[in-house]
Structure 1
Amino acid sequence: MKKLLNSLYITTPNSYLSLDGENLVVLLEDNEKFRLPFVNIENIICFGYMGASPALMGKCADNNISINFLKPNGEYLARIVGKTKGNVLLRKKQYTLSENEEFCLNISKNIIAAKLCNSRMTLERTIRDNFDKIDTSNLKITSNYIANNIDRIYEFNDSDQLRGFEGIIARNYFSVFSDMVLAQKKDFSMIERSKRPPLDFLNCMLSYLYTILSFEVRSALETVGLDPYVGFMHTLRPGRPSLALDLMEELRAYMVDRVVLTMINLKHITKKDFQKKEGGGVLMTDDGRKKILKCWQDRKKEIIMHPYIKEKIEIGLIPYVQAQLLGKYLREELPEYCPFLMR
């Protein structure tokens, strides 16, 4: 099993990344802030503008360490990766199957069904743990609505209709997301999902961590030899990592939504960690980003029993395991793709 290494998050905008032997060095105004051996790094996510030295980028490319550059608000800028690795025959099979409408529809059904199950489990967990503390009637209605529609996923014969149906259920899920907020309800509420820009604190946190998750899924797919840009459920567009977005769907509720709700309900983050822009958008402060990234890293280190492979793994390895299972399915070593289902 792959070892979970560190994701390095550079949150200070004026930081510059450089190379010193086998170490990554972070400089701030030409002064060394800290250094980290390459052997401990899996990927780098940088929220700054100063950049990195060509020597460092070359070293990262040689060691299969991706460097992701984002604006301070989490908006994607660029990504640097090394040579394409993996079995070219696997990628060729992936490209061929991506043109097969029936194949794409069937795997999309499994992914969406898992997404709905995991979203429902998030609702059910709140209901179970707080039925005597809050009004859970709306959560129950939405949970039952999702449960009653999961089997309908397998009745669709058209991918566009399937995606539209999934979007309707997702809107229902997010319409009651605020009901799972038990503390700071006045500050952390939302009417609907908003992305570019996020219009409230909740949407800001969700968008931020969904972006981080997308990088981790992308790296996992590349590690097992798959092309993250050629998917089966999300339509293909230039620059869009469609396969990474496919695999993310089943992981959003378990890996992101739970972290966001836990941080708010335990008051690990407050309204002071955000700022509103004149146009109505919401950004996190530097302290807010540091808090959410710490909770994200802590969450990734938790141990679970993977429901399919029946092995104890760190949560941060779930994208890698699912990428492996997807690769086995494409190679016809598995009869079906087995998405991740919460327990």
Structure 2
Amino acid sequence: MSDVLQGELLLPSPLGEEDVPLVPVRMINEWVYCPRLAYLMWIEAEWADTADTEDGRRVHRRADRPSGSLPQPGDAVVEEEPAPFRCRSVTLSSTRLGMVGKMDVVEGEGRHAVPVELKRGARPHVAQGAHDPERVQLCAQALLLEEAGFEVAEGFIWFAASRERVPVLFDSELREKTLRAAADLRLTAATGRRPPPLENSPKCPRCAVAGICLPDEVNFFRDGALPRPLNPADDPALPLHVQAQGACLRKKGETLVVEADEEKTDVPLIDVSSVSLYGRVSLTTPALHELMRREIPVAWHSTGGWLMGHTVGTGTRNVTIRAAQFRVADDPPRSLCIAAGLVAAKIRNQRTILRRNWKGGAEDPALADVMDRLKQLAAKAPHAGASANLLGIEGEAAALYFRHFPKLIVPSKSETVTFDFEGRNRRPPADPVNALLSFSYALAVRLFVSALVSAGFDPYQGFYHRPRHGRPALALDMMEPFRPLLCDSTVLMVINNGEVGPSDFVTLGRSCSLTPSGRRSLVAAWERRLDQETTHPIFGYRLTTRRLIDVQCRLLARHIAGEIPEMPHYVPR
């Protein structure tokens, strides 16, 4: 049995060593800084790099290269003149303390050791020379060295920015604080209870996991205070779409080389957020390994755009969210509640698209009629009472919406291709409008599968769409409110702006499909749409549509975990 601090004594923990792993010393630092951050990083394996973390990694590169060797004081004979030693990247562990840690530098002579921790920033102007999280981290290293047989009285923190070496004395108060923090973290890990977020804390704006934690959004449902715009700015990396048949992607240093039609295009890996391959496009093993190492997802599509599969690295290790997801999926009332909210949001967003794009004038009685009927259906959805009833409500709303969809399209001037629309059809789509809609929905599936996997979900277990072999049910669920606002609006944009024309479609029998040029036009418009900023109707801050989708998936995770009472949907005015 491992030991934890109980009061002022070390008493056996009720958990076996196999139940709770050794606490990393770095996580003890994070626990003192913010318990929720430590839980998300260690227990739920959630993380997102920022410029600060990348800079910190750069500072530690030299220290992370092992050098020297730590003597064995317990087995050594005490010498009159003990030999000095200095070593880097030393890892020690103790089952008694329940800790494991890697030390940047350890210096000393004989049995006396001094841990040295490297920090990227400047020395803070505080009385003790460093903040408590850093002091506790260094003290934990000292405790591990003492477990290994060394005598440790003090350590140092080296602040790289100010080039200062600050001493830290390991008195009884600091030792007790360190043991208490390690014990509390292990206990929280054993109970599986995520700590609540900090309230209006100045620590949150620069936190690397603010966009995952959503502290102000979670607190909003308790105190009603509008969240600060803590979500990090969009990653400058963008999706890479490759549809040239016969193309091949290779890795060359820090770039991806796209070889197609005897032309080569270099794309820096740092600029790639995801890769989508359409049809007969290949990817070399070294390139695939590098993409997986960087957690850059690869989506494999058919030539027509249907999502065939998804390749990622090890993926999210957060089993907690998936466990909660499957519990909710096995609870029909809770699943129906989530599904009803998604359908109601979709119907309200269909009303928005009709109102914004109606070509018959705002006073058209047909518009007033369909708006009123859709409003009634949106109000009925939360009271459906059964999945079959909800499907009926959604189907009725979809029939109304697509019946009036032609009123949103500017009449075509082309004699070769017209954008006449007589209703939704698919498998295969029979006209240009349906071909565009089907391809946009395929793009949305890829987008939501990637976002859900990043948030810790299994995209194939839904709450509304029933699981079926090969169908990403949860991605289809989360797409529902966004189909009108993201997919349908993009289709209307490329049609009404003249971005697609006769050469962008090919008809074979009863099937109409996009040509490569047509797919390029739609993908370009799709990416522009994702980059457009919007105001979250509940939280009030501005963010891009791309980031909005990530936030909504994270909010779903917080909802099924019980942290927020309801799932807030994106329903703009």
Identify whether the pair has TM-score above 0.5, normalized to the shorter chain: yes
* Structure 2 residue identity aligned to 1:145: R
Tell me the distance in 1 between the aligned counterparts of 2:560 and 2:516: 42
1:152 aligns with 2:384: no
Q: Secondary structure at the match of 1:142?
A: helix
1:277 aligns with 2:505: no
Q: Secondary structure at the match of 1:35?
A: strand
Query: Residue 454 of structure 2: which of 223, 230, 233 is its match?
Result: 223
1:109 aligns with 2:109: no
For residue 13 of structure 1, what is the aligned residue in structure 2? Answer: 245
**Superimposed CA distance per residue, residues 152-205 of structure 1 (whole angstroms, 9 cap, x where no aligned partner):** 112221112211221121122111111111231871122121121011100100
Query: Residue 254 of structure 2: which of 22, 29, 32 is its match?
Result: 22
> How far off is 1:79 after superposition?
2.1
> How far off is 1:221 after superposition?
0.8
For residue 398 of structure 2, what is the aligned residue in structure 1? Answer: 170
Tell me the distance in 2 between the aligned counterparts of 1:261 and 1:271: 16
TM-score scaled by structure 1? 0.94
* Structure 2 residue identity aligned to 1:174: F
> How far off is 1:130 after superposition?
5.4
Q: Secondary structure at the match of 1:329?
A: helix
For residue 142 of structure 2, what is the aligned residue in structure 1? Answer: none
Tell me the distance in 1 between the aligned counterparts of 2:427 and 2:365: 31
Tell me the distance in 2 between the aligned counterparts of 1:270 and 1:110: 38
Tell me the distance in 2 between the aligned counterparts of 1:8 and 1:64: 14
1:186-335 pair list within 5 angstroms: 187-278=418-509, 280-335=510-565
For residue 89 of structure 1, what is the aligned residue in structure 2? Answer: 320
C-alpha RMSD of the superposition: 1.8
* Structure 2 residue identity aligned to 1:162: L
Moved more, 168-177 or 194-203: 168-177
Provide structure 2 residue ranges, at least 5 long, that are not aligned to the other structure.
1-230
Q: Secondary structure at the match of 2:439?
A: helix
For residue 298 of structure 2, what is the aligned residue in structure 1? Answer: 67
For residue 131 of structure 1, what is the aligned residue in structure 2? Answer: 361
> How far off is 1:252 after superposition?
0.7
Q: After the TM superposition, which segments of 4 or more aligned residues of structure 1 sit over 4 Å from their partners? A: none
For residue 159 of structure 2, what is the aligned residue in structure 1? Answer: none
Asked if the contact 1:16/1:27 (under 8 Å) is kept, the reply is: yes
Tell me the distance in 2 between the aligned counterparts of 1:147 and 1:74: 33
Asked if the contact 1:183/1:266 (under 8 Å) is kept, the reply is: no
Moved more, 135-144 or 246-255: 135-144
**Superimposed CA distance per residue, residues 186-230 of structure 1 (whole angstroms, 9 cap, x where no aligned partner):** 711221211210111001001101110111111111111111111
Which one has more relative contact order, counting CA pairs under 8 Å at least 6 apart?
1
Tell me the distance in 2 between the aligned counterparts of 1:247 and 1:241: 10
Tell me the distance in 2 between the aligned counterparts of 1:50 and 1:267: 29
* Structure 1 residue identity aligned to 2:474: L
Query: Residue 42 of structure 1: which of 273, 284, 293 is its match?
Result: 273
TM-score scaled by structure 2? 0.57
Tell me the distance in 1 between the aligned counterparts of 2:513 and 2:273: 27
Asked if the contact 2:426/2:434 (under 8 Å) is kept, the reply is: yes
* Structure 1 residue identity aligned to 2:361: F
* Structure 1 residue identity aligned to 2:276: I
Tell me the distance in 1 between the aligned counterparts of 2:450 and 2:470: 15
* Structure 2 residue identity aligned to 1:25: V
Tell me the distance in 2 between the aligned counterparts of 1:331 and 1:285: 44
Tell me the distance in 2 between the aligned counterparts of 1:26 and 1:247: 33
Greater share of helix? 1
Q: Secondary structure at the match of 1:342?
A: coil
For residue 369 of structure 2, what is the aligned residue in structure 1? Answer: 141
> How far off is 1:272 after superposition?
2.5
> How far off is 1:78 after superposition?
2.6
Moved more, 287-296 or 74-83: 74-83
For residue 338 of structure 1, what is the aligned residue in structure 2? Answer: 568
Tell me the distance in 1 between the aligned counterparts of 2:452 and 2:319: 14
Q: Indicate the percent of aligned positions where both proteins have the same amino acid.
A: 27
Tell me the distance in 2 between the aligned counterparts of 1:237 and 1:195: 19
Provide structure 1 residue ranges, at least 5 long, that are not aligned to the other structure.
none
* Structure 1 residue identity aligned to 2:280: Y
What is the total number of aligned residue pairs between the two structures? Answer: 338
Asked if the contact 2:242/2:281 (under 8 Å) is kept, the reply is: no
Asked if the contact 2:297/2:311 (under 8 Å) is kept, the reply is: yes
Asked if the contact 2:349/2:484 (under 8 Å) is kept, the reply is: yes
Asked if the contact 2:279/2:303 (under 8 Å) is kept, the reply is: yes
Asked if the contact 1:254/1:342 (under 8 Å) is kept, the reply is: no
Tell me the distance in 2 between the aligned counterparts of 1:140 and 1:38: 50
Q: Secondary structure at the match of 2:452?
A: helix
**Superimposed CA distance per residue, residues 280-335 of structure 1 (whole angstroms, 9 cap, x where no aligned partner):** 11111111111111111111111111222322111122211110110111121111
Asked if the contact 2:360/2:407 (under 8 Å) is kept, the reply is: no
Q: Secondary structure at the match of 1:150?
A: helix
For residue 310 of structure 2, what is the aligned residue in structure 1? Answer: 79
Tell me the distance in 2 between the aligned counterparts of 1:189 and 1:122: 18
